[in-house]
């Protein structure tokens, strides 16, 4: 069985972060592993508080995984401080991780900030150059490119600039910000659009975590980047279209919408 690792924060309400990543990887047929960067007290209505792990403890978690079950692909999500980013970058290099999806998480769907100002600079300097693909939403792409984005052409310009600066592919997600479901992948010097069917569902907590984990799962299984993005979008659309409705804010997706078998009944 192929394996994938998420390095991210938690969501006790189960819709985003590590919890969303594990469900997504499982639903996409890979063995899921997780290293926690921070315990986050949050739910569908917002973030109450954040308790970061120490850099030493994160390093130990990563050593435990990498020396035992080497993942076929890795995804990073919420990493809120400079020392944690430095540890991740060091370990990814030490263990020569090749397939890396970096979701540059900055703000939760609820609007709460999940990264410090200084950590954005560390993310740019240390993690982005190691990525196979980055998956910013529009506000994140604006921060990383220093450009403002009003439409599809701006998405192409920003993604191209980020890609050229950091030497990785960039998937700029249209998502809830441009009110469509079209994402732009900039790779190998050219653009490819992935046109999604917009689903009329306000419950979008964790869509970004879910998409990046699904891409990592497909890379782990050996699909190329374009195919991995295509398959991940199809999976995400299914999880949204299942119309799960839980919680009092923007609710979670139905990650296991495709699960069948005797134990499900």
Ligand X SMILES: Nc1ncnc2c1ncn2[C@@H]1O[C@H](COP(=O)(O)OP(=O)(O)OP(=O)(O)O)[C@@H](O)[C@H]1O
Ligand Y SMILES: Cc1ncc(CO)c(N)n1
Strands (DSSP E) along the chain, which ranges? Answer: 3-9, 31-43, 46-52, 73-76, 100-102, 133-134, 169-173, 182-187, 190-195
C-alpha angle 48/244/36, rounded to 5°? 40
Which residues pair with residue 51 across a beta bridge?
A: 39
Alpha helices in 42-98 (DSSP H): 55-66, 82-94
Catalytic choice (204, 249, 250, 251): 204
Nearer to ligand X by Cβ, of 156 and 177: the residue is: 177
Known active-site residue 173: yes
CA–CA gap between residue 83 and residue 131 (Å, rounded)? 18
- Give the nearer residue to ligand X in terms of CB position, either 65 or 106: 106
How far is Cα 85 from Cα 71, in angstroms, rounded to an integer? 19
Binding mask 98-127 for ligand Y (x = CB under 6 A): -------x--xx------------------
Distances (CA, A) of 131 to 8, 126, 135: 15, 10, 10
Nearer to ligand X, 93 or 150 (CB): 150
The CA distance from 52 to 10, in Å, is 10
Using CB under 6 A as the binding rule, whether residue 252 contacts ligand Y is answered as: no
Instruction: Report d(CA 261, CA 154) in Å as an integer.
Output: 45
Nearer Cβ to ligand Y (160/205): 205
- Residue 206 contacts ligand Y per CB under 6 A: yes
Q: Which of 9, 17, 174, 208 is catalytic?
A: 208
Set 23, 91, 99, 173: catalytic member? 173
Residue 82 binds which of ligand Y, ligand X, none (CB < 5-8 A, kind-dependent)? none
207 assigned to active site: yes
Rounded to a whole number of angstroms, the minimum distance from the CB of residue 190 to ligand Y is 29
String marking each residue 39-78 x if it binds ligand Y according to CB under 6 A: -x-x----------------------------------xx
Handedness of CA 52, 19, 111, 167 (dihedral sign): positive
Between residues 52 and 183, which has the closer beta carbon with respect to ligand X?
A: 183
Residue-wise DSSP of 87-133: HHHHHHHHTT---EEE----B-TTS-B-S-HHHHHHIIIIIGGG-SE
* Beta-bridge mates of residue 39: 51
Choose from ligand X, ligand Y, none: what does 120 bind? Cβ within 5-8 Å by kind: none
Q: 209, 215, 220, 225: which one contacts ligand Y (CB under 6 A)?
A: 209
Selection from ligand Y, ligand X, none that 233 binds (CB < 5 to 8 A by kind) is ligand X
Is residue 91 part of the annotated active site? The answer reads no
Q: Could you tell me the smallest distance in angstroms from the CB atom of residue 146 to ligand Y? A: 22
Q: Which residues bind ligand Y (CB under 6 A)?
A: 8-11, 16-17, 40, 42, 77-78, 105, 108-109, 206, 208-209
């Amino acid at each position: 069985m192929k394996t994938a690792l998420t390095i991210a924060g938690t969501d006790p309400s189960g819709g985003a972060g590590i919890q969303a990543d594990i469900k997504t990887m499982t639903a996409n047929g890979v063995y899921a592993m997780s290293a926690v960067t921070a315990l986050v007290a949050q739910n569908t209505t917002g973030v109450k508080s954040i308790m970061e792990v120490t850099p030493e403890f994160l390093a130990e978690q990563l050593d435990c995984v990498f020396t035992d079950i080497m993942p076929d692909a890795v995804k990073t999500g919420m990493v809120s401080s400079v020392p944690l980013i430095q540890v991740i970058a060091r370990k990814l290099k030490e263990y020569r991780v090749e397939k890396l999806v970096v979701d540059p998480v900055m703000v939760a769907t609820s609007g709460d900030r999940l990264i410090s100002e200084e950590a954005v600079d560390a993310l740019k300097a240390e993690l982005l150059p190691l990525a196979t693909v980055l998956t910013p939403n529009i506000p994140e792409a604006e921060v990383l490119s220093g450009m403002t984005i009003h439409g599809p052409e701006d998405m192409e310009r920003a993604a191209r600039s980020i890609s050229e600066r950091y030497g990785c592919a960039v998937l700029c997600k249209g998502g809830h910000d441009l009110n469509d479901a079209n994402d732009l992948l900039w790779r190998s010097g050219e653009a490819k659009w992935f046109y999604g069917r917009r689903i009329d569902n306000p419950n979008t907590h964790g869509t970004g975590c879910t998409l990046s984990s699904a891409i990592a799962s497909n890379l782990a299984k050996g699909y190329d980047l374009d195919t991995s993005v295509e398959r991940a979008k199809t999976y995400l659309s299914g999880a949204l279209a299942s119309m799960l409705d839980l919680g009092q804010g923007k609710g979670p997706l139905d990650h296991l919408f495709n699960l069948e078998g005797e134990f499900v009944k």
